[in-house]
């Protein structure tokens, strides 16, 4: 198994501490929320300085690659400019649609795998990647509303849909193992059947986070420690994904101090080390 870097999805409360760390702090990658650095070049330069110590990768939330109306070309140009300024190794966004009939849905809605949707995805992926300075990865978004398949065979079916989307878009995979586990719990299907159905050679990055249960439903809230079940999936995935390069931790609510998050990263590092020994 190749060596896999571990890192953080960068959040503003950690910036001061990151700048004053005497070394890299035991991790190697910072994932930058690219939508936060589209216009203001001052903060962008601040993050770029962090890139002298950590590898920078970029993550977005506003592409809407499944939108029937197409992607916003001005937005795509701004993203490409930010990617160049940050010297990001790759760029990721969600395999989802965000807008329909001129209405912003306010969440990541899963795309279907029918021919018409796949044609839209192909067209939007071409528009999003034309002239891009780095490759695009597509993340499996959490289907909290349960719009996708359910039942015991849903894992394999949904995995095949993700496979088809990646191949149609000619994109790599940002595989969110927490999203996968949460969807499997809410839908009552086997996450390993999903993994068996996807093209593991396209997996470049993994997301880990912690969610919570509310009124019987698991929510991808990014406000808890990493679920043990997501780490168990990482242990199984890592030896099977030949192009996996990075594992990053997301935390968006009740953000703890950097020192506590570094402890969480050490759990992922230990899982990867054990998987490598096996």
Secondary structure tally for the chain: helices H, strands E: 9, 12
The pLDDT of residue 115: 95
**Domain housing 43:** 5-277
Side-chain half-sphere of 89: how many Cα atoms within 13 Å?
Answer: 14
Helix (H) or strand (E) holding 161: helix 154-169
State both tokens at 173: 């995979």
Q: Which DSSP letter does residue 188 get?
A: T
pLDDT at 147: 65
Q: What pLDDT is recorded for position 247?
A: 98
Q: From 211, 212, 214, 120, select the one nearest 169 (Cα to Cα).
A: 120
Q: What pLDDT, on a 0 to 100 scale, did the predictor assign at position 152?
A: 72
CB 246 within 8 A of CB 27: no
C-alpha 130/C-alpha 246 separation (Å) is: 25
Residue-level pLDDT at 149:
67
Domain of 216: which CATH number? 3.20.20.150
Bridge partners, 5 (sequence order): 246
Averages of pLDDT over each 10 residues, the chain, 278 residues: 93 94 93 91 86 97 96 97 96 94 83 93 98 98 73 89 97 97 92 97 97 86 93 97 98 94 95 88
Nearest in space to 209 (alpha carbons), one of 196, 219, 198: 219
Q: Is there a contact between 31 and 248 (Cβ–Cβ < 8 Å)?
A: yes
Q: What is the pLDDT of residue 116?
A: 96
Question: Which residues lie across from 214 on neighbouring strands?
Answer: 217
pLDDT score, position 106: 79
Residue 146 confidence (pLDDT): 67
Number of domains observed in the structure of the chain: 1
**Beta strand extents in the chain (DSSP E only):** 5-9, 29-33, 55-59, 91-95, 97-100, 103-109, 136-140, 172-176, 203-208, 212-214, 217-219, 246-249
């Amino acid at each position: 198994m190749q060596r896999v870097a571990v890192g953080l999805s960068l959040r503003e409360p950690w910036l001061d501490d990151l700048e004053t760390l005497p070394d890299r702090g035991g991790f190697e990658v910072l994932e930058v929320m690219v939508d936060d650095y589209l216009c203001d070049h001052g903060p962008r330069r601040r993050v770029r300085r962090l890139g002298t110590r950590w590898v920078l990768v970029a993550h977005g939330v506003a592409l809407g690659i499944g939108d029937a109306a197409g992607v916003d070309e001005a937005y795509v140009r701004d993203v490409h400019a930010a990617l160049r300024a940050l010297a990001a190794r790759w760029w990721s966004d969600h395999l989802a649609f965000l807008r329909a009939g001129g209405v912003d849905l306010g969440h990541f809605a899963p795309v279907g795998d029918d021919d018409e949707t796949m044609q839209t995805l192909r067209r939007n992926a071409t528009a999003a990647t034309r002239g891009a300075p780095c490759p695009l990865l597509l993340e499996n978004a959490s289907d909290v509303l349960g719009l996708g398949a359910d039942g015991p065979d849903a894992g394999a079916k949904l995995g095949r849909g993700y496979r088809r989307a990646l191949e149609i878009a000619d994109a790599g995979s940002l595989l969110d193992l927490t999203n996968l586990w949460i969807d499997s719990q809410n839908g009552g299907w086997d996450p390993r059947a999903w993994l068996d159905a996807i093209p593991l050679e396209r997996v470049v990055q993994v997301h880990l986070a912690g969610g919570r249960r509310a009124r019987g439903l698991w929510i991808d809230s990014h406000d808890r420690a990493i679920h043990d079940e997501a780490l168990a999936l990482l242990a199984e995935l890592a030896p099977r994904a030949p192009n996996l390069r990075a594992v990053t931790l997301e935390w968006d609510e009740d953000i703890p101090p950097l020192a506590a998050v570094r402890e969480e990263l050490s759990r992922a590092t230990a899982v990867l080390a054990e998987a490598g020994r096996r």
